[in-house]
Chains A and B, each alone.
Chain A
Amino acid sequence: MMRPDQKQMLLDKIRAYEFSAAELNLYLDSHPGDQRAINDYNTFVRQIAALKNEYERLYGPLLNFGFGPNANRNQWQWIDDPWPWENN
């Protein structure tokens, strides 16, 4: 099991990549023909997928409703504490 600070670091990395993708997404909504931005966006999509896979395998699901796996076969991990609004 990795230490909690490593979990936080991985989550911060996912956050940073997702933020870049969200920024490109909004930019592309008003510049839908910008090929360089599309290329950058697709690069982030691949990196985010890989990072999320790693996170969900180690720490449990980031997404529910069928969009993320429950790695533990015996226990429903979605409801595990902490939730995002909890600072602990």
Chain B
Amino acid sequence: MWIYEKKLQYPVRIKKPNPKMAAAILSQYGGPDGELAASLRYISQRHHMPIPEAKGMLNDIGTEELAHFEMVGSMVHQLMKGATIDQIKAAGVESWYTDHDRATWPGTGTGVPFTASYIMSKGDPIADLTEDMAAEQKARATYEHLIDLADDPDVIDPLRWLREREVVHFQRFGEILNKLYEWKDSKKYF
């Protein structure tokens, strides 16, 4: 089961509303390379992993991604909270306001809803870990795009931290992929 811990994994303390930045960051909440997709991908794939290292890694990174989902949601919430109608209009996010007021919602800032078609669970451990490594790189690239768009240090700081986690996860998944190849080779001889 999962237990909720009443704190963020890394602090998010944004003072200035910025609906345009909220719309950009929303993609890491419910978009194609976002934290929700990451968590659901790993937590689904863990069931068919053949070696303990792979089961543990997918379980644990899938869990950490939920903490990142919470951080990104907090960023979006704090960037929308207190935004005036004029700021929302100037940012061009009237369609967000129409459907959601200032609410956080798992989709992209352009209104595309979250979908399971963003992720795969193939049942083949090597294919799945290869997807997971690509997913971490795509998320890293997305965070770099967001850092390019951001100018508020309160926004850039957690984005840089989240970007760094993608790099670490990529490294750890690479180690697991090597172990899966070893496992596959060992099966050929016994």
Structural contact, B175 and A30, CB atoms closer than 8 A:
yes
Give A9 to B60 CA distance when docked, in angstroms.
27
Interface size on B, residues (CB 8 A): 31
Q: Which residues of B contact A19 (CB under 8 A)?
A: 9-10
In contact, B3 and A63 (Cβ under 8 angstroms): yes
Name the residue of chain B whose CB is nearest to the CB of A55: B7
The reply to whether the CB of B8 lies closer than 8 angstroms to some CB of chain A is yes
Q: Find chain B residues with CB under 8 A from A67 CB.
A: 3
Q: State in angstroms the CA–CA spacing of A1 and B43 once bound together.
A: 41
A62→B74 contact, CB < 8 A: no
Query: Is B56 in the interface zone, CB < 8 Å from A?
Result: yes
List, in ascending order, chain A residues with CB within 8 A of B169's CB.
Answer: 26
Q: Is there an interface contact between A87 and B13, defined as CB atoms closer than 8 Å?
A: yes
Give bound CA distance, A15 to B179, whole Å: 31
A29 touches B3 (CB 8 A): no
Contact B74 A26 (CB under 8 A): no
Question: Given contacts A30-B179, A87-B14, A87-B15, is CB(A62)–CB(B57) below 8 Å?
Answer: no
User: Of the candidates A25, A29, A85, which one forms a contact with B74 in the assembled complex, judged by CB atoms under 8 Å apart?
Assistant: A85
Q: Which of B42-58 contact A (CB under 8 A)?
A: 52-53, 56-57
CA–CA, A22 to B73, complex, Å?
21
> Given contacts A26-B172, A30-B176, A85-B70, are A63 and B6 in contact (CB under 8 A)?
yes
- Number of A residues near B (Cβ < 8 Å) is 26
A82 to B169, CA, bound (A): 31
* A25 and B60 contact, Cβ closer than 8 Å, known pairs A30-B176, A85-B8, A87-B78: yes
> Does the CB pair B73–A65 fall under 8 Å?
no
Q: How far is the CB of B95 from chain A (nearest CB, A)?
A: 23
Q: Is B77 an interface residue (CB 8 A)?
A: yes
Q: Within 8 Å of chain B (Cβ to Cβ): is A54?
A: no
Chain A residue, CB-CB nearest to B56: A29
Note all chain A residues with C-beta closer than 8 A to B73.
85
Most buried by B among A15, A22, A25, A84: A84
- New A-B pairs, 14, CB < 8 Å, besides A18-B9, A26-B169: A11-B7, A14-B7, A15-B10, A19-B9, A22-B9, A22-B64, A29-B57, A30-B57, A65-B4, A84-B70, A84-B74, A85-B8, A85-B78, A87-B78
Q: Which 9 pairs of residues, A with B, have the shortest CB-CB distance?
A: A85-B74, A30-B175, A29-B56, A29-B57, A84-B8, A87-B78, A26-B172, A87-B13, A62-B6
**Chain A residues close to B by CB (< 8 Å):** 11-12, 14-15, 18-19, 22-23, 25-27, 29-32, 61-65, 67, 78, 83-85, 87
